Amino acid sequence: MRRLWILIGFWGTAVAWLGAQEHPFSTFFSDHTLRVDYYHAGTAAREEIVLEALYRLEGWPGSRVNLIDTLNRGHYLLRVFDHRTQQLIYSRGFSTLFNEWQTTEEAKNGGRKIIHETVRVPFPKRPILVEIVSRDKKNRFTQIIFSGVIDPKDGSIRAERRDSNVRVHPLLENGAPEKHVDVVIIGEGFRAEEWEGFVGRARALVDTLFTLSPFKEYRSRFNVYAIMVPSPESGTDDPRAGVFKQTPLNTSFNTFGLQRYLMTYDNRRLQDIASAVPYDAIMILVNTRKYGGGGVYNLYACTAAFHQWTPYVFVHEFGHSFAGLGDEYYTSRVAYSEFYPKGTEPWEPNLTALLHPPQVKWQRLVTPGIPIPTPWGKETYDRLNDEFGKKLSEWRRRKVSGEKMKILSRKYRQKIERFFEEHPYQGAVGAFEGAGYASQGLYRPALDCIMFSRTLKGFDPVCTDAIEQMIRFIAR
Ligand SMILES: [Zn+2]
């Protein structure tokens, strides 16, 4: 009798143990995606989220193992709880155009804005509590700006096929979406007969991306698709030139009044088109020769397809959108940047306010023996920059020919390159002052990087590491 009791006891424990070991993905989720569309509205100081529509999509392209985001990137955090047990079952950091808009003059002058956004969650089996949390001034996730229960049995969840006009061409196929990073490159402003040109350009740019570390080493962990909806017109909007084109994604230059900021607000359309294939990351390639682009973490990257610097912009913007890397460049005239308030550590993995020197947040990658902060001849670099800037504006005033200007740019670029090449800390990791648009108070990990200057020489070791972490997180 006693023995039987022991057996039953053991069996009970075994069942409990097996239950705990059951895959959390299949416990809470099915092999579909819940797309949550909402409006993000507010002012510089206030923000609010209002649900718009729910969709059920085929398949879940993300990881089934890494369900909780441990990377701490992005301005917002999506948190999903099992409603009954209050257990956190999914989370993901992201940024938006809204939080960027909050730093614009329009916002500071009392403006209001409303932007359509989407978050995606593996489709739940039971009701979930969805929270969107914003960072406070100290960059901690403390402000819950949305909280609501979603029942997977809700009859209003839309389940129709999204868009049947999408053309798809796989550029790289390595296996199951949930175990790979799936990148979708969307052609924008290409007419039907320009499809071949788009695919060719996308292929060339993807080839460039995979010549660089760590993408090169992780090539077999990626799937890449080129897709597009044929556009009624060729090109994109350029409001300052009075040019407006009818295109599927409604991209435009001059976003937030910045000519080179080529982006789209048409998130609903973007999501409809992108979901023709499984995707973890979106890149938009716009049919224009003008210089422009942008990238927002876990939203999308956008690049002009045919400018001479396109390969560089393509990789740089992907650094923003895929890995949440910050801009490492600055101008010598701006001491502090409002993007990064003084005394607050940026969440971007490659920027630091160096609040507790000699400790740096990328400590394990720091070159042994290097001084922190790292003296790097900033005055010389700034002087070169200033000389060039002054000459450029003087020559512009005197209407010097474009050819001569090009020579001037090239000469200046060579001087800077020599400065980097002959530098004793070339290739080293330390804390170099001048980053995140600010000349002082913010530090970058290395002398040079794709996030610092217009170069395709590569990402610095800290950026490389941050990208690698993201690949391992998604492709597992
Ligand atoms: Zn940038």
Q: What is the DSSP string of 248-280?
A: TT--BS-BTTBTTB-B---HHHHHHHHTTS--S
313 alpha carbon – ligand 1 mean position (Å): 8
pLDDT of residue 331: 85
pLDDT of residue 373: 97
300 alpha carbon – ligand 1 mean position (Å): 13
pLDDT of residue 3: 45
Token pair, residue 275, equals: 């979901």
Helix/strand/coil percentages in the chain, nearest 5: 30, 25, 45
Q: Give CA separation, 455 vs 283, 315, 475, in Å.
A: 20, 10, 28
Q: Give CA separation, 43 vs 99, 102, 103, 267, in Å.
A: 10, 7, 10, 20
12 alpha carbon – ligand 1 mean position (Å): 56
319 alpha carbon – ligand 1 mean position (Å): 8
Interatomic CA distance for residues 333 and 318, integer angstroms: 27
Indicate left, alpha or beta for 55 from its phi (over 0: left) and psi (-120 to 50: alpha).
beta
255 alpha carbon – ligand 1 mean position (Å): 14
Token pair, residue 435, equals: 């980053």
pLDDT of residue 22: 52
pLDDT of residue 161: 78
8 alpha carbon – ligand 1 mean position (Å): 62
358 alpha carbon – ligand 1 mean position (Å): 27
pLDDT of residue 19: 43
Residue spans of the domains in the chain: they are 24-150, 167-323
82 alpha carbon – ligand 1 mean position (Å): 37
Q: Name the burial class of residue 394, with classes exposed (0-12), middle (13-18) and buried (19+) by CB atoms within 10 angstroms of its CB.
A: exposed
321 alpha carbon – ligand 1 mean position (Å): 10
- Residue by residue, pLDDT tens for the chain (476 residues) are 444 444 444 444 444 444 444 568 999 999 999 999 999 999 999 999 999 999 999 999 999 999 999 999 999 999 999 999 999 999 999 999 999 999 999 999 999 999 999 999 999 999 999 999 999 989 999 999 999 999 999 999 999 877 778 999 999 999 999 999 999 999 999 999 999 999 999 999 999 999 999 999 999 999 999 999 999 999 999 999 999 999 999 999 999 999 999 999 999 999 999 999 999 999 999 999 999 999 999 999 999 999 999 999 999 999 999 999 999 999 877 777 778 988 899 999 999 999 999 999 999 999 999 999 999 999 999 999 999 989 989 998 999 888 888 899 899 989 999 999 999 999 999 999 999 999 999 999 999 999 999 888 899 999 999 999 999 999 99
350 alpha carbon – ligand 1 mean position (Å): 12
Q: How far is CA 1 from the centre of its chain?
A: 63
236 alpha carbon – ligand 1 mean position (Å): 21
End-to-end CA distance of the chain: 47
pLDDT of residue 158: 96
pLDDT of residue 325: 98
- Cis amide leading into 358 (omega within 30): yes
324 alpha carbon – ligand 1 mean position (Å): 10
Backbone angles phi, psi at 231, to 5 degrees: -95, 140
| Full-model pTM | 0.93
418 alpha carbon – ligand 1 mean position (Å): 23
Inter-residue contact 25 to 67 (CB < 8 Å)? yes
Inter-residue contact 264 to 250 (CB < 8 Å)? yes
- Cis amide leading into 346 (omega within 30): no
442 alpha carbon – ligand 1 mean position (Å): 16
Protein residues near ligand 1, an ion, with CB under 5 A: 327
451 alpha carbon – ligand 1 mean position (Å): 6
pLDDT of residue 364: 97
295 alpha carbon – ligand 1 mean position (Å): 7
pLDDT of residue 17: 45
372 alpha carbon – ligand 1 mean position (Å): 25
DSSP state of 285: E
288 alpha carbon – ligand 1 mean position (Å): 19
167-323: CATH number = 3.40.390.10
263 alpha carbon – ligand 1 mean position (Å): 13
Interatomic CA distance for residues 92 and 72, integer angstroms: 9
3-state secondary structure string across 11-50? HHHHHHHHHHHCCHHHHHEEEEEEEEEEEEEECCCCEEEE
Query: If residue 149 lies in a helix (H) or strand (E), which one and from where to where?
Result: strand 141-150
Query: Are β-strands 29-42 and 47-58 bridged in parallel, bridged antiparallel, or unpaired?
Result: antiparallel
pLDDT of residue 9: 45
17 alpha carbon – ligand 1 mean position (Å): 48
23 alpha carbon – ligand 1 mean position (Å): 39
322 alpha carbon – ligand 1 mean position (Å): 12
Q: What are the residues whose beta carbons fall under 8 Å from the beta carbon of 231, sequence distance 6 or more?
A: 188, 189, 190, 191, 245, 246, 247, 248, 287
Name the CATH superfamily for 24-150. Peptidase M64, N-terminal domain (2.60.40.3250)
Token pair, residue 404, equals: 């001569």
Backbone angles phi, psi at 183, to 5 degrees: -110, 130
87 alpha carbon – ligand 1 mean position (Å): 37
Radius of gyration of the CA atoms of the chain, in A: 24
Inter-residue contact 376 to 432 (CB < 8 Å)? yes
Q: What is the DSSP string of 371-393?
A: -SSPP--HHHHHHHHHHHHHHHH
270 alpha carbon – ligand 1 mean position (Å): 21
